[in-house]
Amino acid sequence: ELVLKVRIQTPNLRENDFIEIELDRQELTYKELLRVSCCELGVNPEHVQKIRKLPNTMLRKDKDVARLQDFQELELVLTVSDKNLLFRVPTLSEQSGYNKKASELTY
């Protein structure tokens, strides 16, 4: 496995931590990197403009991904200006600990 550090580019946030993702070394492709990163970060792949290897290198193809080494830092640069629209917010009934019967009680 190749372990990479990934985050969403959000320069206006104080805290913008990386998460670690694992890629199978047999499947080191741009498409797989995009898929895993988006899945782990909860982002729609259609909203990713580019993947940047920090500090300033754009990844464009499978060969670029194949050269990555463990714990390199990557950022997903999103196309939409309002980043909040890109994340799927779970409905109240999908949130853990939600009790439908308790929400119907009247006092």
In whole angstroms, give the CA distance from residue 8 to residue 102.
37
User: How confident is the model over 1-20, as a mean pLDDT?
Assistant: 87
Residue 46 lies in a domain: yes
User: How confident is the model over 42-53, as a mean pLDDT?
Assistant: 94
Query: Range of 33's domain?
Result: 2-78
In whole angstroms, give the CA distance from residue 49 to residue 97.
36
- Structural domain tally of the chain? 1
90, 91, 92, 93 alpha-carbon torsion, rounded to 10°: -100
Residue 69: φ, ψ to 5°: -120, 165
- pTM equals 0.71
Residue 67 lies in a domain: yes
CA angle at residue 44 from 41 to 45, to 5 degrees? 95
More confident residue, 80 or 16: 16
- Residue 32 in this model has a pLDDT that exceeds 60: yes
- State the CATH number of the domain containing residue 16: 3.10.20.10
More confident residue, 11 or 75: 75
Q: What is the pLDDT of residue 81?
A: 55
In whole angstroms, give the CA distance from residue 54 to residue 11.
14
